[in-house]
Amino acid sequence: NAGVTQTPKFRILKIGQSMTLQCTQDMNHNYMYWYRQDPGMGLKLIYYSVGAGITDKGEVPNGYNVSRSTTEDFPLRLELAAPSQTSVYFCASSNARREHNEQFFGPGTRLTVL
C-alpha cells in the first residue's frame, strides 16, 4: 500500500497561472480532504468529498475547485493563482466505515505564488 500520494512535491507559480495538485489513495477510502497549512495556523479545510461524484466546501474554498470522478483520485485545481495561496497543501483520506475518523495524510505539496 502506498497510502496517500501527492504530486508535485514543490511548485512555483506566477500570479494568474493555474495548476492542478494531484492526490491519489489506494486504501479504498470513501472520504477525502484537502487542507492548507500556513505557518502557525494549523490546518484549514479547503474541500472534502464523501464519495465519488460528491464534493463540498470546507472553511476556505475560495480560489479552488475539486472533482471526484473515482474513489481513488481527488485533484485540487487553482484557476488564478494569487500570493495568498502560497502554502503547503495536504490531501488526506479516511474510511467512513470506521467509527472514529482517523485521517491518513499525504506528504504535501509546497506551493509558492510569486
Interface residues toward other proteins, by CB under 8 A = 4, 31, 40-43, 45, 48, 50, 56, 90, 92, 94, 96, 99-108
State the minimum distance, in angstroms, from the CB of residue 82 to other proteins.
Answer: 23
Report which of 48, 56, 60 is spatially closest to residue 23, judged by C-alpha positions.
48
The contacts of residue 10 (CB under 8 Å, 6+ apart) are: 109, 110, 111
7 versus 18: smaller Cβ distance to other proteins: 7
Which residue reads 483520485 in cell numbers? 73
Interatomic CA distance for residues 4 and 38, integer angstroms: 21
State the minimum distance, in angstroms, from the CB of residue 105 to other proteins.
Answer: 3
State the minimum distance, in angstroms, from the CB of residue 108 to other proteins.
Answer: 5
DSSP 73: B
